[in-house]
Amino acid sequence: MNDTELFEKQIDVTFKNKELLKQAFTHRSYLNENPESGLQHNERLEFLGDAVLELIVTEHLYKSYPDKPEGELTTWRAALVNARMLAIVAKDLKLGDYLLLSHGETRETGKARDYILANATEALLGALYLDQGLKACKIIIEQYVLSKLPQVLEEKLFEDAKSRFQELAQEKTGITPSYQVLKEWGPDHEKNFQVGVTLGKDLIAKGQGMSKQEAEQDAAKAALIKQENIWN
């Protein structure tokens, strides 16, 4: 039994087109080291899977919570489909055991590794959509993504750290926080950013992420932890 068959057995899905599943597992870096492999990287599937995921999660929230306004549902959806949550989903699916990566990417850990895993989750959904349609994607998303909604609501993972820190900062100091990119590195398709959040001239905290928005949220969370102890 090869790797794709093992994965199919694990998720109880049999792909008609095995090449789509292989493509979902193939990171761009692998092709750089193995140009003769005949494979394609998973970034186009990731693009498609992102849309499939958002549609199914949006429909579920819309139908399940008819009394909730769109703004609140938007924050819930963001908590379910962000890179951090999708990396957790990837670990639940054991996607890391099947990915084709360069030697360098194989050694990645932390947020860089999680970003690869999150993208692979979206690529898998894109492949599944092309192979078997929306219904098959819905089953996987319900099992692995929407099942996390109770945790998101209970732990208030949907709360926006930037908004919370701005409210507190303005209340306690009268100053609106500002964010500045301190450092960025990595190739264009996998940029890393370090962002600092300041109050006036004081640097309060730093954050890191695979986008400026993610890094800003990370910085705001760090600032909340640091300042809430001082302000309370």
Q: Which CATH class is domain 161-231?
A: alpha beta
User: Would you state the CATH architecture of domain 3-154?
Assistant: Orthogonal Bundle (1.10)
What digits encode the pLDDT tens for the residues 169-224? 988 899 999 999 999 998 877 788 999 999 999 999 999 988 888 899 899 989 98
Q: How far apart are CA 158 and CA 78, in angstroms?
A: 7
Residue 168 · residue 224 · CB < 8 Å? yes
What digits encode the pLDDT tens for the residues 76-98? 998 899 888 999 999 999 999 99
For the cut 60, the answer to whether the pLDDT of residue 1 exceeds it is: no
pLDDT of residue 149: 97
Going from N- to C-terminal start, the domains of the chain cover: 3-154, 161-231
CA angle, corner 176, sides to 172 and 177, nearest 5?
100
User: Is 122 annotated as catalytic?
Assistant: yes
- What percent of the residues of the chain are helix, what percent strand, and what percent coil, each to the nearest 5? 65, 10, 25
Burial 148-178 (b: 16+ CB within 10 A, else e): bbeebeeeebbeebbeebbebbeeeeeeebe
Sheet with 192-199, side-by-side order of all strands: 178-185, 192-199, 202-209
Distances, alpha carbon 121 to alpha carbons 168, 171, 217, 224, in Å = 36, 40, 22, 30
User: Is 12 annotated as catalytic?
Assistant: no
What digits encode the pLDDT tens for the residues 100-151? 998 887 776 677 788 899 999 999 999 999 999 999 999 999 999 999 999 9
Of 122, 131, 214, 216, which one is the catalytic site residue? 122
Both structure tokens of 78 = 């963001």
